[in-house]
Structure 1
Amino acid sequence: MSCTVRHTVDATAVDCAAIIAGSQVPLPYALDVLLAGVRLCLRSNSPSLIEALTRYYGDFIGDGQGEPDVTIWAIDGPSPPVALPFILHGQAGAKEEYCDLADGRVVRKRRTGLWLVFGRTGNAILGPCARQPQQVANCINARFADWLLCRGAKLVHAAGVALGQRGLAVSGFAGAGKSTLALEIMRHGADFVTNDRALVGRDAQGLSLAGIARPPRVNPGTILGNDRLHGLLPDEVRQAYAKLPSGELWALERKYDVPIAACFGPGRVRLAAKLEALVVLAWKPGGGAMQADWTTLSRREEYLPAVTKDLGVLFENGPCAADNDGYRALFGDCPVLALTGGVDFAKAAALCLDVLGRSA
């Protein structure tokens, strides 16, 4: 496993606890959410932020009972007036920069000025939180994911669906159609678990699948191919997309959010299931008839890069390259349905539904 060397700033100069204390105000507003069995409590000084996040997490509001696994302070106000030697994460145009301190990490969102501070002294989101509820939700989701990662789960490049207690992770290289296949399976009755990132762990019952509370984002080709999504586009726009050559439509990158309840009905989102199998999309347009074969990652090592995800700066152990040995150990002999040849979403969805329903 290859990780970035950390340059920790001297804690005598500044630390996370001091940064949080410098922004501390009364936090009278609270929101409890329950994500895949993980209890998170958000406290804030902004009622409008809590209202927006209550809508966002509407399917996952907790009952306020029991001690939270994760507590987060979202303090709306100016960005902290603290000079830190931030390191840019990524290439030119990167969205984030970070600094490791003796008691944790600070990540600064370059476009909005939000600061995410986390470590052994606690978790805080500082800056113009009320104006950025979506980004605050992303930060909350990162703390949820990190809680599972620190307990042995792996971040997997996959969409996820479930039927009853049984789940499938749909993996593949970028542009393979993970979200399109997941939503096609949903069209036939499955529930949505996650869009592009899943968390896979192991418990006494075997492999578990957990999702990120975030709606899927799809391209126009996915909308055209799924009648449940047609309402996302005005008729004239949808007709204009339909006139494009198939190859151009497949390659078109123009994302639209999919509100699951509006498109598929209420109660169709769940964030946890037992992982029955991993589906790997190794097909390509124009590849002939679709072929389906059962295998494992240990037998088909070439599929591993389609499954793994590097850890970014929002995670305690990041930034870090994917731990391939850890993925091999986790998945072991997990059944893998490899789809090769040409693209056929209808046939693939039927096979996936058979897997989800085979023990019913």
Structure 2
Amino acid sequence: MPLNLVQQISQFQESTPLQPQRLSLSLPGWTLAIESNSKTLLTTLQHYFGDLLSESSAQADQTITAYETDQFLNQGLHWEDWKRETGKTGRKDAFLDFDNGLEAQRFIYKVKTGMLFWQRHDQPTAFGPTESHPNQIINFILTQYLNEHLRRDWLLGHAAGLQLNGRGLAIAGLSGGGKSTLMLHLLENGEHFISNDRLLFADSTITESARPDELWMRGIPKQPRINPGTIVHNSRLHALIPAERRAELLQLPREELRQLEEKYDADVNRLYHPNCFKAESPLSALVILNWQPGSDDATRLTETTLNDSPHLLPAIIKSPGPFYADRQNVFLPNQIEPDTAPYLAMLGDLPCWELNGNVDFAAAVRLVEEAARRQ
């Protein structure tokens, strides 16, 4: 029963002292405190978030606690698998809902790593091998940031974002469609990296950052996590893997290389230029990847809108996932797809550049840069 798990966790917390160090993270419109019993984890997070860390002793909007432990990994409870996105296979997240009489709460179990997350409004908490999987703690932190924005009526998009020639571009496509790869190629002539895989969208009725009749995008402060197929064909990124490993990867068939799951963090401030990362930007256009590897057709760009091409909506829509609870603290049910109406209402008339034909990043860069100059 969940209450037995809660009791065990409470006993563990009472007997497990936290480190005296406490990190403070300052993000647009939101502050966060991070606590842990692991000095190693806190040091890793300190290095990762860098300039976003704050010395302020003011009360944070939210506090997250992460415990390094080998307990709570198998409680014999009845976990329900969270439905994965189209095209994704295998078990990833399992969850268990309960109510303590004061608020709804949810446990999320990461099947592959053994991490356990206790999602609750007052203090989200993580347990497990955090030192071995710090990226899952980073994701947990940023999930709270996403949740807060969604409760303020921002929209979540499955997209990368950058500034190119002073214009904010959101790049979307099916998972594995190349949005991160294209974003990094465009960044060669761009000014700022905004986000790699998730973007938040708003207008002037939601955020004061946007002027009347202006759309706005706000990124997730997470370094791009990219696959080897992106690295080996981009000289800017070669330093992320040893030369010997790159030579091995280049021997793989193209499709096998494209499907290889072997993530690397790309620190854009180090790889491109200082202050490359920017938290937010006006949004000028969507780029939708609707191309097909191996197509006999040349890569082409069609200028449209989501209102005129609603078949492109699935590329941009993103579910908040199992960690999200709304303003009334109601958790997102399993297998519920986001409503398309708010996306069309906000983004429907925004210029949308659809890329079709073969997957050709050099051609795509040229076509997108030409479209940006015409806008």
**Superposition deviation, residue 250 in structure 1:** 6.9
Give 2:53's aligned amino acid: I
Instruction: Give 1:253's aligned residue.
Output: 260
Q: Does 1:69 pair with 2:77?
A: no
Change (3 A) 1:133 1:189: same
Instruction: Give 1:86's aligned residue.
Output: 79
Change (3 A) 1:356 1:150: farther
2-side partners of 1:230 and 1:236: how far apart?
11
Matches within 5 A, 1:34-45: 34-45=26-37
Give 2:82's aligned amino acid: H
Change (3 A) 1:105 1:263: same
Give 1:265's aligned amino acid: H
2-side partners of 1:36 and 1:139: how far apart?
17
Query: What RMSD in Å do the two structures reach over aligned CA positions?
Result: 3.2
SS of the residue corresponding to residue 359 of structure 2 reads coil
2-side partners of 1:232 and 1:16: how far apart?
42
2-side partners of 1:295 and 1:234: how far apart?
42
**Superposition deviation, residue 178 in structure 1:** 0.7
Q: How many residues align?
A: 348
**Superposition deviation, residue 229 in structure 1:** 1.6
Instruction: Give 1:200's aligned residue.
Output: 201
**Superposition deviation, residue 162 in structure 1:** 2.1
Give 1:298's aligned amino acid: N
Of stretches 100-109 and 204-213 in structure 1, the one that deviates more from structure 2 is 204-213
1-side partners of 2:281 and 2:54: how far apart?
19
Over residues 105-126 of structure 1, what are the superposed CA-to-partner deviations in whole Å (9 max), with x where a residue is unaligned? 1112234433211223322223
Over residues 297-319 of structure 1, what are the superposed CA-to-partner deviations in whole Å (9 max), with x where a residue is unaligned? 11101101111123321222434
Q: Does 1:215 pair with 2:223?
A: yes
Kept in 2, the 8 Å contact 1:163–1:189? The answer is yes
Q: Does 1:336 pair with 2:352?
A: yes
2-side partners of 1:126 and 1:165: how far apart?
43
Change (3 A) 1:337 1:18: same
SS of the residue corresponding to residue 284 of structure 2 reads strand
Over residues 76-133 of structure 1, what are the superposed CA-to-partner deviations in whole Å (9 max), with x where a residue is unaligned? 3353497654323248842322111212211122344332112233222234434432
Q: Which has the higher contact order (CA 8 A, sep 6+)?
A: 1
Give 1:348's aligned amino acid: A
Any unmatched runs of 5+ in structure 2?
A: 326-330
Q: Does 1:96 pair with 2:88?
A: no
Instruction: Give 1:5's aligned residue.
Output: none
Instruction: Give 2:290's aligned residue.
Output: 282
Identity value in percent: 32
Instruction: Give 1:4's aligned residue.
Output: none
Matches within 5 A, 1:18-57: 19-20=9-10, 23-24=13-14, 25-27=16-18, 28-57=20-49
Change (3 A) 1:16 1:304: farther
SS of the residue corresponding to residue 22 of structure 2 reads strand
- With structure 1 as the length reference, what TM-score do the two structures score? 0.83
Of stretches 99-108 and 206-215 in structure 1, the one that deviates more from structure 2 is 206-215
SS of the residue corresponding to residue 183 of structure 1 reads helix
Kept in 1, the 8 Å contact 2:192–2:278? The answer is yes
Give 1:96's aligned amino acid: D
Any unmatched runs of 5+ in structure 1?
A: 1-8
Q: Does 1:299 pair with 2:308?
A: yes
Instruction: Give 1:168's aligned residue.
Output: 169
1-side partners of 2:196 and 2:163: how far apart?
12
Change (3 A) 1:287 1:302: farther
1-side partners of 2:252 and 2:9: how far apart?
52
**Superposition deviation, residue 321 in structure 1:** 1.5
